[in-house]
Amino acid sequence: MRELKIVSRKRNEMIDITRDIQKIVNEEKPGAGIVIVYVPHTTAGITINEGADPSVQRDIIETLKKLIPESGDYHHLEGNSDAHIKASLLGSSVTVIVKNNKLILGTWQHIFFYEGDGPRNRRVYVKIN
């Protein structure tokens, strides 16, 4: 298992980690298998979506903000309930197939770390099977 360190710079941010994951695959040389990318944080998530047009990531963040505003009738006292809800919607892991030591992603697909309560120092775990 490998660990990536992520430094977010904004409260809400999507960080493309595709190259980082592919680099780990290149170093581990599994040939074929699966990669599990897991985020051990309750206010951050992981997702796969379009990486060619940055406006898609902006649209995702803005839509999540509209659906789940930062201020609301939340009971959690830390002031980050919205981040917990957003992270739950996005999920804490993705699984990607590896073939010939390459991530099998669609033409426009990239792997994104979602920060919902930044800026923070975060971890992402990568397991290749």
Using CA atoms, how far apart are residues 25 and 9, in angstroms rounded to an integer?
A: 26
Contact 128, 25 (CB under 8 A): yes
- pLDDT exceeds cutoff 90 at 4: yes
The number of folded domains in the chain is 1
Using CA atoms, how far apart are residues 118 and 108, in angstroms rounded to an integer?
A: 26
Residue 74: φ, ψ to 5° = -90, 150
> What is the strand order of the sheet 33-38 is part of?
2-7, 121-128, 33-38, 93-99, 102-103
Specify the CATH number for the domain of residue 51. 2.60.120.460
Beta bridge partners of 6: 122
pLDDT in tens, 43-59: 999 999 999 999 999 99
- pLDDT exceeds cutoff 90 at 77: no
Domain that holds residue 85: 2-128
pTM of the model: 0.96
